[in-house]
Amino acid sequence: MFENDPPKPAKLDLEQLSVDELKQRIEALKADIAACEAEIEKKQAHKSAADDFFKS
């Protein structure tokens, strides 16, 4: 789409993974989701603080 967009990773064939590998992948994805949610909260708090500052 755009030149600066990172390349999309190749689609993982889940059928080739064992049950243990799938469980490990789920845990890794949950950790990534938690990190993303924490970053969202941080950015929202920062934006809220800036909004409050400029309302005054």
Longest dimension (CA), the chain: 58
Q: Positive or negative, the Cα torsion across 26, 29, 31, 37?
A: negative
> Which among 45, 14, 16 has a CA at the least distance from the CA of 29?
14
Integer CA distances (angstroms), 9 to 2, 5, 12, in order: 16, 12, 8
The mean pLDDT values, 10 residues at a time, for the chain of 56 residues are 73 94 97 98 92 80
- What integer pLDDT is reported at residue 21 of this predicted model? 97
- What integer pLDDT is reported at residue 52 of this predicted model? 85
- What integer pLDDT is reported at residue 56 of this predicted model? 62
